[in-house]
Chain A
Amino acid sequence: MAKRNFLGPHGTVLSLGEFWLLTIAGFALFFGAWSLLAWSGWLPPNLLPSPRAVWATLVRLWDNPFAGHVYADHMLASLGRFLMGWAIAVAIGIPLGLLMGWYRLLDEIVTPLFDSIRFVAPLAWVPLAALWFGTGIGGPLLIIFVGSFAPCVISAYRGARLVEPRLVEAAQTLGASGRQVIQHVLVPGAMPSIISGLRVSAGLGWQSLVGSELIVVGAGLGYLMVQGQGNLATDVVIAGMIGIGVVGFAIDVALRGVEAWFRRRWGQTA
């Protein structure tokens, strides 16, 4: 026993059986503790519904509208809003980051502005966003944009800076124009960093969406949760959290797929 643990985790390998046993025990622990807390009567059911009650609520919300829409429509509303805001952030942030990595003057102009607003938490933009673009579509879009913009810029900038200068020089020696260098050397070289930045920015953008929906919007999973909270319907609140987790997880899996596809295609490791 002591010998096997000589190197800590590096020296221990669990058998497949033990691994699965412990994993199942972990799931059982989570749902068991939750059920026990809910059924013991120690907490009233409007504070903590049991897993079964939450599942029943999910099924009910699937067919019956709550807070104006059925569950899938709330999900789609959130996802659509997120995709719009995130797409704008990517479309502006990635080119800006690449150009900042390429033109030093642009870097020197943008960086101080960027740094001075970087520490404003995305959700602190909510009142200003509401003032500028209203609480319908524009305001929440600005919040998602602000949340996901910085990682887009930073990852593209880093990627551009990490491109081997010799490759740039080689292309230039062979007579490539500035545009050609950017297109054929800079962008592919920066790609691994950009793609990992996309994942970070999507995660942050999704969070910002949830925050903005809690505060200003009239549809979406966040709104569903706020309405549930207002009615002290904790089962609806938890159902909303599950939807947010599922969509966020799906977005991350999709981007991981893009990352894997990119690595196979370009034969690069990030």
Chain B
Amino acid sequence: MAAGNALLRPSRAVLVGTATVLAVLGLWWLATSGLRLLNPLRLPAPSEVWAAFQQINGRGYAGATLIEHALHSLGLVARGFAVAVITGVPLGLLMGWSRRAEALVNPIFLLLRPIPALAWIPLAIVWFGLGDTGKVFVIWLTAFVPSVINAFTGVRQVDTILIAAARTQGASTAQVLRHVVIPGAMPMIFTGLRLSLQASWTTLVAAELVGAFFGLGRVLNIAGQDIYPGMILVGMAAVAVCGAGTTWLLGLLERRVLNWRPAV
């Protein structure tokens, strides 16, 4: 197919995809509002979801508006994630660069790694209560382990020839680390960040469902207790939008940081 054509006309995949999404939305409407096949307490009609959306935006729900809940959750993920990167990446780099550090720290990871971050939630509640600190703590745990492991693997994958070349030109250890090892480990570090960002949202939602004063998990929790299916769907959609949005932002950052890399 000619390139000009492809630019002007939407591709087959886009057409089929749009048709599918429209068909599913149509079926949803038909099964709920149109033919009333489904009990509205199981699956709400699109209009009910829209009404719930307007309610939470206008009057608020579970103590705040949707934007306030979302910003609260976003803030917690951002804080936990930032602390995990600041503590995890340097530790991973150190373990990658020094076999002694690796041998010393590895046992601790062997013990802690099989326990999912979600399993720390009850302990976090005992230690920090239901406030923000406990949530930042479990998000830190979620993102910390992948940050360490991927920074470690990234350093080990750096080509020995590059290090030797820098050395022959008289680079000091600090220079080798700064100009060869850390840039070389960067792609791997970002892979770890991408994986742990998605996991952070899962952890946060779980922690907020178990107990919280604000946040999207709190919205889901209250909507579940009120048996308010429209609001449950609004909450789920908000979680998805936040997850997708932060993943997109991380992708932007990755492209900026790794702009020296040829496009794949």
Contact = CB atoms under 8 A, between A and B. Distances in A.
B63 interface: no
A111 interface: yes
B17 A112 contact: yes
B21 A113 contact: yes
B243 A119 contact: yes
A26 B21 CA distance: 53
Contacts of B210: 214-215, 226
B100 interface: yes
Interface string B121-151: 1110111000000000000000000000000
Contacts of B115: 241-242, 244-245, 248
A203 B102 CA distance: 24
Contacts of B237: 120
A75 interface: no
Interface stretch (A125-133, A169-177, A179-187): A125-133
B100 A18 contact: yes
Interface in A16-56: 18-19, 22-23, 25-27, 29-30, 46-47
A135 to B, nearest CB: 10
Interface in B65-103: 96-100, 102-103
Given A19-B103, A26-B106, A123 B206 contact: yes
Contacts of A113: 20-21, 24
Interface in B204-239: 204-206, 209-210, 216-217, 220-221, 223-224, 227, 229, 232-233, 235-237, 239
A152 interface: no
Contacts of A244: 115-116, 119
A42 to B, nearest CB: 13
A75 B144 CA distance: 27
Contacts of A266: none
A125 B202 CA distance: 10
Contacts of B118: 123, 207, 210-211, 214
A125 B223 CA distance: 12
A8 interface: yes
Given A8-B97, A12-B99, A215-B206, A126 B220 contact: yes
Interface residues of B, number: 73
Given A8-B97, A241-B115, A214 B121 contact: yes
Interface string B157-197: 00010011001000001001000010000000000000000
A206 B220 contact: no
Contact of A127 (B41, B117, B221): B221
B46 to A, nearest CB: 15
Interface in A142-194: 147
B232 A23 contact: no
Interface in A38-87: 46-47
Nearest to A222: B119
Contacts of B98: 8-9, 12
B126 A232 contact: yes
A210 B119 CA distance: 6
B100 A22 contact: yes
Contact of B21 (A14, A116, A122, A215): A116
Contacts of A147: 202
A26 B108 CA distance: 7
A13 interface: yes
B7 interface: no
Given A206-B116, A210-B118, A117 B202 contact: no
A251 B126 CA distance: 28
B100 A122 contact: no
Interface in A97-139: 105, 108-113, 116-117, 119-128, 130-132
A241 B127 CA distance: 15
B104 to A, nearest CB: 5
A5 interface: yes
B10 interface: no
Contact of A29 (B104, B176, B233): B104
Given A123-B209, A125-B236, A127-B224, A9 B97 contact: yes
12 contacts: A9-B102, A14-B103, A22-B103, A23-B103, A30-B108, A46-B126, A119-B198, A120-B240, A124-B220, A131-B227, A211-B202, A244-B115
Interface of B: 12-13, 16-18, 20-21, 24, 41-42, 96-100, 102-108, 111, 114-123, 125-127, 155-156, 160, 163-164, 167, 173, 176, 181, 198-199, 201-202, 204-206, 209-210, 216-217, 220-221, 223-224, 227, 229, 232-233, 235-237, 239-241, 243-244, 247
Give the 5 A-B CB pairs with smallest separation, nearest first.
A127-B224, A26-B107, A22-B103, A112-B17, A229-B122
Given A105-B16, A240-B122, 16 more contacts: A9-B98, A9-B99, A10-B160, A10-B163, A29-B104, A109-B17, A119-B244, A121-B204, A124-B205, A124-B240, A131-B41, A207-B199, A214-B121, A225-B122, A241-B123, A246-B114
